[in-house]
Structure 1
Amino acid sequence: MPKVSDAYRTARRDEIIVAALRCFAAKGYQRTSMADIIEESGLSAGAIYGHFAGKKELFAAVAGRVLDARRGELEARRSDTGPLPPGEIVATLLQGMRTEPFGGVIVQLWAEAAVDAEIRELVQGVFARLRETVRAGLAEWAAAEPGRVEGDPERWAARLAPVVLGLGPGFMVQRAIIDDFDEDAYLSALPEALPH
């Protein structure tokens, strides 16, 4: 029997994640079953369970896909322009969520992680990577702008990173549930609200 390559396994895993994203976006986490994901993917149950233990693990992988894409966008923008001020860091992350076809899945993830310890544990690493990317970006900006922040840039960035990340859920929740929410106004106000 031929050996399956790592590239093939990665492609198959990605295929499963995309199918799960479509299901979670269309039906929500609670109403999506593994049978739905299996049907959407067109793969066998064995193929799915060969990559993921169940729906919770798959949901965490979906979150990883969406949030890691935001990290990549932030790193790419930073490499193009140099250190980004805090408001631009948040605006870059949120602009990515705004154009993410499956951005609403993240709001579901926050809700599920708040009440399900297993999901919360599964996504801790994803959020830790995002927080570290934001912290590093803030520290880089503070170091490049002496006198703009009080104290050590690293300590300042560590204190500010959770606050900066907290602006994301505010944007995403309002976007999801408030009919007349002005996304553009929110994004344009970020540089005013944060050091620049």
Structure 2
Amino acid sequence: MALTWSRKRMSVRFKNRILVFGGRAMPKVTDAHLEARRQQILDAATECFARKGFHRSTMHDICQMAELSPGAVYRYFQSKDEIIEAMEEQGRQHSAAVIDAVTSERTETLDVLEGLVDVFFSKLEDVRDCAVHIELWAEALSNPKIKQTVVRIDESIRNAFIQRIVSAAQHRGEINAALDPDAVARVMMAFWDGLVLQKTLDPEVDIWKYVAVMKAMIGGTFWQKTEAGRS
């Protein structure tokens, strides 16, 4: 056996075979590649949770759905709990970005609320996403770690809603200042939470008819006076 050294590589000659231990530097893995792989795993987990539920889905199922080896998946996430935390954080970032974008483009509170409704409720057309939300909420009831994550993310989104929209609108006199800002935010967010459940149970629910009713309620056109003499 002979060793061959060079500045660029080291090889071992053994029984007429050369095993190369070095050579050209391995290509650097870009941040974009790492993020794409991470998203690939999250998408696979979402599909698994929607099809089989959180408890029946295993890390092995997620590996198969992602078409990745266990080693590749565990490099990013050590457990399903970590995957859920990543999903929730991704949802928080998306919600914050939507609130920033809509409040930057619109000034009147009613326009802002209608813009937020259009964006957030459009996501509910995907029944799979609705089912995953139900799974996460159910898991939060029995898993303290997941509950802490869900509550923290929900609180973060609610606080952003209060600070960027509710409090400012109350200061301008557009929303009743006597109402508790946190309660206002919770009720508005409950519209979305409620439809998630309804859409999961009945996929035929028409999202946009629901949106029309919600806009009528927040815009003041829900109640209509009857004509004189009309029963």
Pair 1:92–1:179, CA change in 2 (3 A) = closer
Report matched runs for 1:24-63 at 5 Å.
24-63=49-88
**Moved beyond 6 Å, runs of 4+:** none
Pair 1:172 & 2:196 matched? yes
Note the C-alpha offset of 1:59: 2.1
> Which protein is richer in helix relative to its size?
1
Flag the structure with larger Rg.
2
Structure 2 CA distance for aligned equivalents of residues 117 and 94 of structure 1? 28
| Contact 1:19/1:40 (8 A) holds in 2 | yes
Residues 58-87 of structure 1 deviation map (CA, whole Å, 9 limit, x = unaligned) = 123223334543443343233222344385
Any idea what SS the aligned residue of 1:59 has? helix
Note the C-alpha offset of 1:173: 0.6
Percentage of identical aligned residues: 24
Residues 81-123 of structure 1 deviation map (CA, whole Å, 9 limit, x = unaligned) = 2344385244542233335862321121111112221211233
| Contact 1:139/1:157 (8 A) holds in 2 | yes
Pair 1:126 & 2:153 matched? yes
TM-score (norm 1): 0.80
Mind listing any 5+ residue stretches in structure 2 that lack a counterpart?
1-24, 221-231
Pair 1:103 & 2:156 matched? no
Aligned length: 192
In the other structure, the counterpart of 1:192 is 216
Any idea what SS the aligned residue of 1:72 has? helix
| RCO higher in structure (CA 8 A, sep ≥6) | 1
In the other structure, the counterpart of 2:166 is 138
Structure 2 CA distance for aligned equivalents of residues 8 and 156 of structure 1? 45
Structure 2 CA distance for aligned equivalents of residues 188 and 21 of structure 1? 29
Mind listing any 5+ residue stretches in structure 1 that lack a counterpart?
none
